[in-house]
Amino acid sequence: MSARRVVVHPDADVLAQATASRLLTRLLDLQSVHAPVHVVLTGGTVGIKVLADVAAHPVRDAVDWGTVHLWWGDDRFVPAGHPDRNVQQAREALLDHLPTLPHENVHTIPAARPDDPGFTQDDAAREYASELARFAAPGESTPQFDVLMLGMGPDHHVASLFPGRPELEVVGVATTAVVDSPKPPPLRVSLTFDAIRSAREVWIVAAGAEKAAGVHAGLSGASVTESPVAGATGQDLTLWLVDAAAAAEAGAGEHG
Ligand SMILES: O=C(O)[C@H](O)[C@@H](O)[C@H](O)[C@H](O)COP(=O)(O)O
């Protein structure tokens, strides 16, 4: 039975610091019972701030980064190294500061190849699905994600699953290409809901008044077509990590 919890922090800075502490604690706990550990990272303002706070955290080096595998919920289909790439932002915030994290544990969503225009976002989505399958148990299409973090857009999107878009309906595969994303850049690759919902724990991290309607929608069972965040749930736990401004429209009954 999956649980849902809501944790409200005073502001975005405390939210990011607390989420960094929570992630490191979760990694340490998980590593005391199993290895490897699979974590899915998110882009977005708070998502990247969390990574910077992990980098600066005093217990960062207590984690055995050698057995941590990092994945992404989505990325922008632009050339490698582009500042819009979630992985590029993650590298600068955290990965470049983790010398013991093996290169082969960093599972980036394939980037656009300017010298190979025939390599499309569909190819990138297929390639990422193959990489996920390589770490999956027989019959599964993804590794067992221990923690999957998601930011949420003001339009209630998660990963690159936007309201009213056909990608919301993609089932039976772990990844999807996205064209015409309403948030630039237009070309992206995203995990599907099937992949997101296979995670043991989904952590939705949101700060600011512009996220309040999305938090309310997600917690009150809105339609996934209108509020994709409502479809992001974990097998064991769906954890809403929000600041006070983002929690402003969530009723008392929605806090559990
Ligand atoms: O690639 C993306 O666009 C992000 O992965 C996206 O899903 C992000 O997490 C949210 O839009 C929240 O972003 P902010 O925290 O910057 O609002």
pLDDT band at 253 (very low <50, low <70, confident <90, very high): very low
Residue nearest to atom 5 of ligand 1 (CA): 43
* Residues with C-beta less than 6 Å from any ligand 1 atom: 42-47, 74, 86, 151-153, 157-160, 183
Could you give the ipTM of this predicted complex? 0.92
Closest C-alpha among 40, 25, 59, 189 to residue 107: 40
User: Strand pairing partners for 237?
Assistant: 3, 201
pLDDT at 255 over 70: no
pLDDT band at 1 (very low <50, low <70, confident <90, very high): confident
65-123 residue pLDDT tens: 999 999 999 999 999 999 999 999 999 999 999 999 999 999 999 999 999 999 999 99
- Relative to the CA of 206, which ligand 1 atom is closest? 15
User: Strand pairing partners for 203?
Assistant: 149, 239
Q: What are phi and psi of 66, to 5 degrees?
A: -65, -20
Distance 114 CA to ligand 1 centre (A): 25
The preferred substitution site among 42, 89, 121, 187 for testing ligand 1, maximizing ligand atoms within 8 Å of CB, is 42
Residue nearest to atom 7 of ligand 1 (CA): 159
160-194 residue pLDDT tens: 999 999 999 999 999 999 999 999 999 999 999 99
Distance 34 CA to ligand 1 centre (A): 30
pLDDT at 207 over 70: yes
Average pLDDT score over the chain? 96
The reported pLDDT for the residue numbered 254 is: 54
pLDDT at 37 over 70: yes
If phi > 0 it is left, if psi is from -120 to 50 it is alpha, else beta; for residue 146 that is alpha
Considering the chain, what percentage of its residues have pLDDT values greater than 90? 96
Residue nearest to atom 14 of ligand 1 (CA): 44
pTM comes to 0.97
